[in-house]
Structure 1
Amino acid sequence: MDANTLLTYGVLAVVALVAQAADRRCTDPAAPARPRGTLGLQDVARLLVVFVVIYAMLLGGTEIADRGKGGGSVVDGALQIVAGGISLALILTGWDRIPGLRGLRPRAPISWLALALLLLALAHNLAPASGSSSVADTVAKPQTTTDLVTGQVPFVMLALASVGPGVRRSGRQTLERLGLLPLRPWWWVVGIAVGIVVVKGGTHVYDLVNLLTPADCRAQQEKVFQHLAGPARHWYAQVAIGVAAGTGEELLFRGALQPRVGILLASLLWASFHLQYTCHGLPSASNLYILVLGLIFGVLRKRFGLGSAIAAHIAYDSTILLGF
């Protein structure tokens, strides 16, 4: 796992915890009143979120400035700046009339952070250079089991921090907010069944996807899959990868994010993180297929809880990796 990625997610997790602590203090009737003229925890949290957005915009500017040195891209940098600008505008003016964002509270710092990260992540992931770079990195060397399992750590870290365990919610409340409680084992059975059925039924859809994908991109995606699947791995390593991906990704995108932004936006963001399946740096038919999978997992999360979505995701990934 890249150290810079871990550091970035670690900083975001800290900001999320501060925002959740501020939210609890703001809504706690027993909290002492803040003296006039002083900064409260909520003010600090808001400033931290604004700093995150401005920092992302500065990185976008750096990306544009480096375009002539072989390491930057005008399009990528511009997308980051635009996404940051839209984030700041919505933070200042509100977003009540925007479908999909009504689960976010306009004055809550944690909602500011969720909105900003949603837009900034989409801008970064949809940038052509990001897709091309991800494909190149994936095929440069086979992905080890450790790489793929530990790659989920940032998602888990941010998912947990974003719901405020210990600073706003108790352990049980955290699990309930993520959708892991109440426990219903038969929900997991439903999820496993759906995951396996989607693999089998999705064969025809995938054949159609291949027809819509240029030949060079099909060859590229096959190479990407071979590097990710690692056919020489033991079966238990493949299952471990499926468990890690299914748990980490579902905790963040369906557990923490979906209740606030809805199934469609959460699924769109999740699909955008699968950069290795882009075609010439742009979203491909495979990414559309992944979006549909996300919608299915999202419906399971809404109807049967997060455990069902995790079970379906694990069953799907494990079945694919094991070659069934």
Structure 2
Amino acid sequence: MKKFDIRNIKVRKVDIGQLDDRLLLINLYLTQLITFIIGFLWVILQGRNVINLFRLPETPEFLYWGAALAAIIVLFDIAISRWVPEQAMDDGGVNEKMFRKRPLWHIVLICLVVSVCEELLFRGAIQHAIGAYWTSILFAAIHVRYLKHWIPTGMVFGISYSLGWVQDHTGTIWAPIAAHFVFDLIMGLIIRFRKETDR
């Protein structure tokens, strides 16, 4: 039996056009699972209770904050896309490939999974440790597909910081989860139902 050697693992950059839909979804769900596990363990290592972190507030006020923040982000994103050249907002085609031909139920599922997993790690664990500002820098840095262009990188930082602020303001992780979910869902639906001539 051949011995496994981690040095033999080769990592190469793959163009989004080289990924078929199955591989794209495997990559998405695997990275979200890893994100969730790291966030879950980090919260526990901080001596906090994950169940308490996800306890729903008694009033629905967090939903209003989440929906309002999502609406502001969507309007800002749409306004920016009207004045900024398309190549300056290029994400390498990831969002287009992810949402363009996806069934509605699957877009909802993707947005739900991403919002819960990423907010657990970034707002639930990392922000608790280092604050909203540094968490937002880290959040922008992991969205590597945007790093070639300063406008989307700045937008990701601003979105992350506003998610951190809304969590601090409402005192619950459900507010940034709601905002993240609604924003991703609206943007995914815009991509999904945009006319072919608009592309």
Q: TM-score range by the shorter chain?
A: 0.7 to 0.9
Greater relative CO (CA pairs within 8 A, separation 6+):
2
- Aligned partner of 1:202 among 73, 77, 81: 77
Q: Does 1:302 align with 2:172?
A: no
- Aligned partner of 1:224 among 74, 89, 94: 94
Matched residues in 2 for 1:142 and 1:322: separation? Answer: 21
Secondary structure of the structure 1 residue equivalent to 2:101 = coil
TM-score by length of 2: 0.77
1:261 maps to which residue?
Answer: 130
Please provide the CA RMSD for this pair: 2.9
TM-superposed CA distance for 1:197, in Å, is 3.1
Q: Deviations over 1:93-130 (max 9, x none)?
A: xxxxxxxxxxxxxxxxxxxxxxxxxxxxxxxxxxxxx9
- Aligned partner of 1:140 among 5, 15, 18: 18
Structure 1, unmatched stretches of 5+, are 1-58, 63-70, 73-129
Matched residues in 2 for 1:228 and 1:278: separation? Answer: 19
2:197 maps to which residue?
Answer: none
Q: Deviations over 1:207-259 (max 9, x none)?
A: 45x34x7x4x65x5363331232x11111101111101111100000111102
TM-superposed CA distance for 1:142, in Å, is 4.4
The answer to whether the 8 Å contact 1:271/1:291 transfers is yes
- Aligned partner of 1:161 among 41, 56, 59: 41
Matched residues in 1 for 2:71 and 2:114: separation? Answer: 16
Matched residues in 1 for 2:133 and 2:17: separation? Answer: 30
Structure 2, unmatched stretches of 5+, are 1-5, 194-199
Secondary structure of the structure 2 residue equivalent to 1:232 = coil
The answer to whether the 8 Å contact 2:66/2:178 transfers is yes
TM-score by length of 1: 0.49
Secondary structure of the structure 2 residue equivalent to 1:164 = helix
TM-superposed CA distance for 1:141, in Å, is 1.6
The size of the alignment, in residue pairs, is: 180
Fraction of identical pairs, as percent: 21
